[in-house]
Amino acid sequence: MIVRERANEYVMIEQHCHAQISGDIMSQWKECLFIGDSFRNSVELAVYFHDYGWSEFDKRPLWNDREKAPCTFANFPINRKITLYQQGIEAVEKMDLYAALLCSEHYKRFLLNDMSKDAQKFVAKELSRQNRIINSMNEFDQQLFNFHYHFLQFGDNLSLFLCLNEPGSKNHPFFKKGIPLGSSLVGFKDAFLDIQWKGDNTIMLKNFPFARPLDISYWQKAVKKETIEKDGLIPAYESTPAEEIAIEILPIN
């Protein structure tokens, strides 16, 4: 779950919803900036489904007693997080092997430097999965894969920018310098892509990488703190109506 705290409520966005935003955005990436056309459907599927493991769990969010707030993807218990990661990767693997390879790499890197037994067991299992998938392919190009991984990562980060910041704000520490650009992405010289708000419903990008201006929408719930205190988090979340947020993404001229 992605959570933003306000004075009297928590804005909550389900992880799989965030991934769908990523997919809607990246499906409009310029053809001239994409390499490996035969893989594009697989890569876009990975972007759309990279957080699929969270889809059922986020329907019943978890309370963090220490923080006295809903659990977020950042402070979610590691053992449960690993289970959700694995479930998501396995679901994607049933749909598309190359997409699963990308999702596996995405999550493996999250835990690569976590020295806990469970995290390292997960990393080892994903390395084994990756080797199995690569060995099943007729040909594997590491440089091409790196581009596709950074493509997924860019879509993830741009969607997170929208979800983690209040409209019109760039306060979240993840994005102080802009949207990170992976070294394998073609057409960019800088390490970060400049991003600016124009009002509360429009963001502007420098070196615009999309084929056209984008109209993106997503769903969130603004759950009242008093309702959580009275009814508990899950009933409060279930009873709160979802609201649709519309965002326009335009080039900086």
Where along the chain do its domains lie? 2-251
Structure confidence at residue 223 (pLDDT): 98
Q: What is the 3-state secondary structure (H, E, C) of 200-228?
A: CCEEEECCCCECCCEEEEEEEEEEEHHHH
Structure tokens, 206? 């420098």
Query: Residue 86 and residue 119: Cα distance in Å, rounded?
Result: 12
Q: Please state, in angstroms and rounded to a whole number, the distance separating the CA atoms of residues 147 and 214.
A: 22
With a CB cutoff of 8 Å and minimum separation 6, the contacts of 61 are 1, 12, 70, 71, 233, 234, 237
pLDDT digits (tens, 9 = 90+) for 83-98: 999 999 999 999 999 9
Measured between alpha carbons, how far apart are the two ends of the chain, in Å?
35
Check pLDDT > 80 for residue 140: yes
pTM: predicted TM-score of the whole model, two decimal places: 0.95
Per-residue confidence (pLDDT) for residue 114, from 0 to 100: 86
> pLDDT digits over 182-232, tens only?
989 988 888 999 999 998 999 999 899 999 999 999 999 999 999 999 999
> What is the pLDDT, as a whole number, of residue 52?
95
Q: What is the pLDDT of residues 11-62, one digit of tens each?
A: 999 999 999 999 999 999 999 999 999 999 999 999 999 999 999 989 999 9
